[in-house]
Amino acid sequence: MRKPSIHVASLVGGEEMFRSELGSIHRLNADNFPVLNGLSIKRLRLAPNAIREPHWHVNATELTYCTSGQALVSVLDNGSKFSSFLVSAGEMFHIESGALHHVENVGDTDAEFIIAFRHERPEDFGFGAALGAMTDAVLGNTYDLPSEAFADIRRSTTAKLIVGREGAPDIPSTAHFGDPHHFAVEAIAPPLESSAGSVRTAREQYWAALHDISMYSLRISEDGMREPHWHPVTAEMGYVHKGSARMTIMNPDGALDTYIVNEGEVYFVPRAYPHHIEVIDAPQIHLLIFFDQPTPADIGYRASMSAYSRKVLAATFGVALDDLPNFPFTPSDPLLVNRRNPLDPVADRA
């Protein structure tokens, strides 16, 4: 039986922060997934009429992808700058560290969100709990009201996380306009598309709000493969939205970690570690891949081979010059390649 990988953990089956008829929150951080560094992830599910209460994150920016449903998001940034917008499946939003924000299901079905944070142990404050930290008199002075006005308000310093709304949602007219926090990643033309798959990118080049985090929406077909590569200055955290894949990561000591990632699981690759991804048992895999840089870059095996003379390569690989394969000249890595050879046998999935 294969030893479980330290690079993979289940998000949907991971630590459950909250669950009720209103929804649920699952998380993976460095406490329950120790390999994480500079990134962590949550899965938020909201039932109809449910609200992720207004809150802010102490030490991390947030980058969120909506997998289903429709929600109203509001943000109060520095300088009392307020905005609100609607988010649907395949769309994203970005929240700065410290900015007050809420997520409200305004549809008739459950809404689900995959949330990446730019810290391995993100912390946050709930607005309701923050209100509970102050006395009635302090609040009365703040809002120019008598202290008795706060007698019936729940007073606790513990956040509720998800709360229920009474009645229909109040959607401001401005929520239907564009907003710099909001990005419809699946609506853009893919910068890369072929029979091997496609990639759409939420990065600084296309979304100016991003300054320390980014995301690739990567689809790989059963006839394609993400070529072996590494990211020189960024770590990679991927969530499997659909399908399953096999990955191999090489550690600096030469040890290899080959494992299967399935729907609902998360993998983490430290920066500059070589790795590859290929589909198994599915016509396609859809990955949400988050990076700890606003513009991730990589070096692939294919272009690397074209960087050196055949004599250097023959000496490096310990073969005669005439026995060296006829590598294609590749000035720029293709990112996705077609799989022309049979899939290697799949080992025990334990």
What pTM was estimated for this model as a whole?
0.94
Residues 123 and 258 in one domain: no
Which residues, 6 or more positions from 147, have their beta carbon under 8 angstroms from its beta carbon? 135, 136, 137, 139, 140
Let me know if residue 38 belongs to a domain.
Answer: yes
Let me know if residue 346 belongs to a domain.
Answer: no
pLDDT of residue 3: 61
Dihedral (Cα; 128, 133, 139, 142), 10-degree rounding: -90
Which residues, 6 or more positions from 221, have their beta carbon under 8 angstroms from its beta carbon? 195, 196, 197, 279, 283, 284
Residues 94 and 206 in one domain: no
Residues 175 and 210 in one domain: no
pLDDT of residue 281: 79
Residues 97 and 13 in one domain: yes
Query: How is 143-200 classified by DSSP, letter by letter?
Result: HTS-GGGGTTS---SS---EEEPPSS----GGGGS--TTEE-GGGSPPSEEETTEEEE
Residues 111 and 203 in one domain: no
CATH number for the domain spanning 324: value is 2.60.120.10
Residues 159 and 200 in one domain: no
What counts of helices (H) and strands (E) characterise the chain?
A: 4, 26
Residues 39 and 172 in one domain: yes
Counting beta carbons within 10 angstroms of the beta carbon of residue 189, is it exposed (0 to 12), middle (13 to 18) or buried (19 or more)?
exposed
Question: Is the CB of residue 278 less than 8 Å from the CB of residue 337?
Answer: no
Burial 66-80 (b: 16+ CB within 10 A, else e): bbebbbbbbbbbeee
Q: How many domains does the chain have?
A: 2
Question: In a 3-state reduction of DSSP, which class is residue 313?
Answer: helix
Let me know if residue 343 belongs to a domain.
Answer: no
Per-residue pLDDT of the chain (350 residues; tens, 9 = 90+): 456 799 999 999 989 999 999 999 999 999 999 999 999 999 999 999 999 999 999 999 999 999 999 999 999 999 999 999 999 999 999 999 999 999 999 999 999 999 999 999 999 999 999 999 999 999 999 999 999 999 898 889 999 999 999 999 999 998 988 999 999 999 999 999 999 999 999 999 999 999 999 999 999 999 899 999 999 999 999 999 999 999 999 999 999 999 999 999 999 999 999 999 999 877 899 999 999 999 999 999 999 999 999 999 999 999 999 999 999 999 988 999 998 998 888 665 43
Let me know if residue 3 belongs to a domain.
Answer: no
Let me know if residue 249 belongs to a domain.
Answer: yes
Residues 152 and 203 in one domain: no
Let me know if residue 344 belongs to a domain.
Answer: no
Q: Which amino acid is at 306?
A: S
Let me know if residue 316 belongs to a domain.
Answer: yes
Tokens found for residue 27: 């998380």
Rounded distance, CA 260 to CA 73, Å? 35
Residues 255 and 213 in one domain: yes
pLDDT of residue 350: 39
Expressed as residue numbers, the domain containing 198 is 194-338
